[in-house]
Structure 1
């Protein structure tokens, strides 16, 4: 590894290469959770897209295995990468390239932090319409690579729906681009969707262009809690009503109890628009809850605190043995799913059927397989995102049973024929 570090220092300088023993403890732990330790990789920090391309070119010529990341906040998601010799962070490639205020688009390098970009956009009365894990430290490249968004997908869609353009470094070190900097752009292949959620297996993202939105005038959140049947009726009524929430999440009993917002299952619905519209919609949903004998509360001034607590509960495990899973079911099956997983903390977006499930590592593998079988029986999936390394070594974290695996393998072969980028981190050992 010393020989690798010395060669990379000629590209990025001595400060840009950190030996294994010198990596900051928290980051080293995240890397350990992301790889099967065979070697002890060095951590490389290129500062420009050209430096990144040069580092990847060097790795390609020497057939070194690469694990790309941003600030490492989601590095432990997915399968264990194999034979990694270099971890490349894009954290120092963090320039704002262009903010087209009138066109409602933003172009920035991959290493820029989500929270920093939101602060910049706020000065123009605009925002990026997704809510990723650890927003204060997550980078744009990492968000795209893991398709990490949250409750706002109810109104705005996922990351792939808002991504307009992308540039990336290929496995051979060449820089490629796709898409553009305007909302109406249909030329070429849709590599933006292909790279979203690819976990660094196809290339290393260097810059992205997103559409942005005006900051709404007002915001309120309605929380309904009660028995499963009544909550199911509320979800159905909301789905078929004229109400237009930006977020609509179903919460498990355990999560409702942890947040101290009531008893039973919970339905958390956020409205953002003009003040009069927000007030009217919140009132309408509250009245619906009363008709169904559900406990209802409207959050206005303390709304931000509620969503922050919800984020911390579901996305920031308090113990290193906690297991976090991403699940998906048909939207019509969301209540049945959380009822099935009653002892655990869970959240599902009512519009998409996507959500998170969290439990302690004391749950045995057989129980995990049973939960996966249930989700698949409901027209969905069950993926283990973050878990102790010992568990990931013994199970298939993705559990994919669809018919697209052969196609994904062919795509991987085209983009990375020597399998140097995040080997075995993705579906089917890709």
Structure 2
């Protein structure tokens, strides 16, 4: 019996999405074809699939929007699980600032629903308009707006997930609660599908700020602007976001530090004055800055690199990345993160860059579909103590080791 035939005995016909041979190459760059593609429409179907996968020893690769699909290595059998069948708003309590939706719901759908009540979800990772809600949570992506609003993981109030062996867990809820012991909810956020399949998300919303003021200052280089960005992070006011891009259209394509201030008009005006006094600069105010362009900067290229380190070490990280001659750079100094795009480098160059970043206590992760699975091997690996914790979590959530075969 083939994998497709076996799945047909446990899943409804509506969940059998398409023939593997018909799956677009763009959805699995550099990969071999899966043995089956399924599109479950309910958590119960996902649970049945995962129980079957563990029993049969078949890998499962979840795909939402496909933005983070990785090549699948090895020769084991695997199934692609499309989460777009788990789409749609479930509940929205505008007065309570909470919304729940299926994991496959496009983030744009969530944003549109919130906007009808002058609310929003203040997360701005690259290409968020192309992501699913579950994919956003699975990758733990926040963007520079975390400076003023906190990380995404702090605003995911609840999740429904299915573990690797088919158990359905409902983590958290619709209100903020104190947690005693290990917080499983926060462990799943950012686990990139390696612990469980997310089927539903409860999210905290925020009122849209009355004023969203954009300030920027130009510089000759990203490195020159880094000093000012670090000073912004120590100012007596807390901006909504602060990010350096190596080319800002509003600045004539030159490097710029872009800062956003949110709040009432009087508060924002006072915050700008105090910020300029602290940094010793006069910012330009420009309501025409393309926030989507700043958000998405350095998110397209043959190789995308995400480096992280303490903010005080970001200068050394930028020096190391220079060896790649990046085509685009974005620096979130408050979060200690650098995003870069480049052409495909040699493994030796990546090894050297990664080693220099790790020498200052940082880490480097690559996303490069064209590198045929080598990106994970060239990225920073967990330290021994961290690896033991990761393996312990995975063995508890996925004892059969069937989730996300791209990782193994």
Question: How many residues end up aligned between the 2 structures?
Answer: 403
Q: Which runs of 4+ in 1 moved over 4 A?
A: 79-82, 227-230, 262-265, 283-289
- Name 2:286's counterpart in structure 1: 299
CA offset at residue 108 of structure 1?
1.7
> Post-superposition shift, 1:298?
1.9
Q: Is the 8 A contact 1:131 1:151 kept in 2?
A: yes
1:59 is aligned to 2:88: no
The alpha-carbon distance between structure 1 residues 53 and 390, as it changes in their structure 2 partners (threshold 3 A), is: closer
Task: Go from structure 1 to structure 2 and tell me whether the alpha carbon gap of 1:195 and 1:234 turns closer, same or farther (over 3 Å shift).
Answer: same
Moved more, 122-131 or 111-120: 122-131
Are 1:404 and 2:397 an aligned pair?
Answer: no
Q: CA deviation at 1:336?
A: 4.3
Whether the aligned pair in 1 keeps the contact of 2:163 and 2:197 (CA below 8 Å) is: yes
In the aligned structure 2, how far is the partner of 1:264 from the partner of 1:372? 27
Match of 2:19 in 1: 19
Whole-Å separation in 1 of the counterparts to 2:377 and 2:250: 35
CA 1:402–1:213 in structure 2 vs 1: closer, same or farther (change >3 Å)? farther
Aligned position for 2:269? 279
Q: TM-score, normalised by structure 1?
A: 0.85
**1:333 maps to which residue?**
313
In the aligned structure 1, how far is the partner of 2:376 from the partner of 2:60?
A: 23
Matched, 1:158 2:151: yes
Q: CA deviation at 1:331?
A: 1.0
Conserved in 2, the CA contact under 8 Å of 1:178 and 1:189?
A: no
Cα displacement (A) at 1:260: 6.1
CA deviation after TM superposition for structure 1 residue 101, in Å: 2.2
What SS class does the counterpart of residue 293 from structure 2 fall into? helix
Residues 99 and 202 in structure 2, CA contact (< 8 A), matched pair in contact too? yes
Matched, 1:415 2:408: no
What is residue 194 of structure 2 aligned with on the other side? 201
Note the 1:180-259 alignment, pairs <5 A: 180-186=173-179, 189-227=182-220, 231-251=225-245, 255-256=246-247, 259=249
- Residues 40 and 179 from structure 1, CA distance in 2 versus in 1: closer, same or farther, beyond 3 angstroms? closer
Q: Which residue of 2 aligns with 1:351?
A: 334
Contact map agreement 2:230 2:333 (CA 8 A) in 1: no
CA–CA distance in structure 2, aligned partners of residues 136 and 394 of structure 1 = 26
Distance 2:357 2:400 in 1: 35
TM-aligned CA deviation for residue 68 of structure 1: 1.2
SS in structure 1 of the partner of residue 217 of structure 2: strand
Query: Would you say the 8 A contact 1:82–1:423 is kept in 2?
Result: no
- Choose which of 304, 309, 316 in structure 2 pairs with 1:324: 304
SS in 1 for 2:378: coil
Cα displacement (A) at 1:116: 0.4
Q: Is the 8 A contact 1:324 1:387 kept in 2?
A: no
SS in 2 for 1:220: strand
Whole-Å Cα distance in 1 between the matches of residues 373 and 168 of structure 2?
37
Q: Which runs of 5+ in 2 are unaligned?
A: none
Q: Distance in 2 between matches of 1:202 and 1:76?
A: 16
Of residues 260, 284, 295, the one that matches 1:311 is 295
Contact 1:80 1:392 in 2 (8 A): no
- CA 1:392–1:233 in 2, change beyond 3 Å: closer, same or farther? closer
Q: Distance in 2 between matches of 1:159 and 1:84?
A: 34
SS at match of 2:236: coil
Deviation at 1:262?
4.9
CA distance in 2, matches of 1:379, 1:405: 17
Q: Give 3-state SS (helix, strand or coil) of 1:32's partner.
A: coil
RMSD, matched Cα: 2.7
Q: Partner of 1:151: helix, strand, or coil?
A: coil
Distance 1:267 1:364, change over 3 A: same
Partner of 1:128: 121
More displaced 10-residue stretch of structure 1: 109-118 or 149-158:
149-158
TM-score norm. by structure 2 comes to: 0.89
CA distance in 2, matches of 1:309, 1:149: 16
- Residues 108-150 of structure 1: CA distance to partner in whole angstroms, max 9, x if unpaired? 2211111100110111221112123322231111111111221
Partner of 2:2: 3
Q: How far apart are residue 358 of structure 1 and its match?
A: 1.2
Shift of residue 371, structure 1, vs aligned partner: 1.7
Q: Secondary structure at the match of 1:72?
A: coil
Instruction: Give the Cα separation in 2 of the matches to 1:74 and 1:125.
Output: 30
Question: How far apart are residue 186 of structure 1 and its match?
Answer: 2.0
CA distance in 2, matches of 1:139, 1:131: 13
Structure 1 gaps of 5+ residues are none
CA contact (8 A) 1:67 1:84 kept: no
